[in-house]
């Protein structure tokens, strides 16, 4: 079964501390993974896609097929990083995305 | 970048009436559009997937006669909530896939529509 698990509903860290938002997936084929972010009162927007291997706003995410993980990391958190973060998996059917439950990230000053 | 608009951004209606929500891709052709429902402090729940010119595919548990989806053009999809009831009150979000990019599953999201049924 295709599934995305984000084990933490809420993650709170201090400004300047490292951040890691966990995402594990279950998928039999070659996965296509994304991180989306939703800032307060804004629409969902793409943060990262694994295929691009890019760093956006200081965030990186590495696909680990052995651990079936796609954790999102940032070495030094900033207050503006506070948001909801969703991990998503490209599914088999009609370009659908399989969504994780989301993690609310709070950066404390 | 790819922009998706939704209209209206919020709507209040009486129980028993129907409400139509529009989703438009402004600068790209959206061969596939998705309709989601988001409950407070919860993740997105996919309601249906629509491909331009064909019938929408509804997720299990979503009533197709209640949530009518039309994707008549490559830039417009509509969701009509028929005979709305208070339990239909929610945040409805559409997203669209750029048909010109064949390999990615990336979706571009609208800002959402807050529906309140009295």
For the stretch B37-60, pLDDT in tens is 998 877 889 999 998 888 899 999
A78-97 pLDDT, tens digit each: 999 999 999 999 877 778 89
Cβ–Cβ of A101/B111 closer than 8 Å? no
What SS3 class is residue B48?
A: strand
Q: Backbone phi, then psi, for B96, in 5-degree steps?
A: -140, 150
The mean predicted confidence, pLDDT, of chain B is 91
A44-74 pLDDT, tens digit each: 999 998 887 788 899 999 899 999 999 999 9
Residues of B in contact with A32 (CB under 8 A): 104-105
DSSP strand pairing (A3-5 vs A45-49): unpaired
- The residues, ordered by sequence, that sit 6+ positions from B60 with a Cβ below 8 Å of its Cβ are none
Contact A68, A26 (CB under 8 A): yes
Best residue of B4, B5, B44 to probe chain A, by most A CBs closer than 10 Å: B44
Chain B nearest C-alpha distance from A90 (Å): 6
Cβ–Cβ of B44/A86 closer than 8 Å? yes
Cβ–Cβ of A97/B107 closer than 8 Å? yes
């Amino acid at each position: 079964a295709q599934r995305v698990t984000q084990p933490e509903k809420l993650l709170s860290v201090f400004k300047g501390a490292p951040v890691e938002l966990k995402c594990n997936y279950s998928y039999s084929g070659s996965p296509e993974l994304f991180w989306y972010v939703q800032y307060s009162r804004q629409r969902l927007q793409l943060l990262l896609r694994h295929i691009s291997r890019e760093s956006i706003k200081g965030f990186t995410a590495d696909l680990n097929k052995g651990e079936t993980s796609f954790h999102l990391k940032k070495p030094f958190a900033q207050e503006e990083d506070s948001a909801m973060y969703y991990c998503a998996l490209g599914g088999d059917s009609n370009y659908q995305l399989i969504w994780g439950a989301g993690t609310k990230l709070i950066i404390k000053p | 970048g790819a922009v998706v608009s939704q209209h209206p951004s919020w709507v209040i209606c009486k129980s028993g009436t129907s409400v139509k929500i529009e989703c438009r891709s402004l600068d790209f052709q959206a061969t596939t559009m998705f309709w989601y429902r988001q409950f407070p402090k919860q993740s997105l729940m996919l309601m249906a997937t629509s491909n331009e010119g064909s019938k929408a595919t509804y997720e299990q548990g979503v009533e197709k006669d209640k949530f009518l989806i039309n994707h008549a053009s490559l830039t417009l999809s509509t969701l009509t909530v028929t005979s709305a009831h208070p339990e239909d009150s929610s945040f409805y979000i559409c997203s669209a896939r750029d048909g010109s990019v064949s390999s990615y599953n990336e979706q571009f999201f609208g800002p959402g529509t807050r529906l309140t049924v009295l």
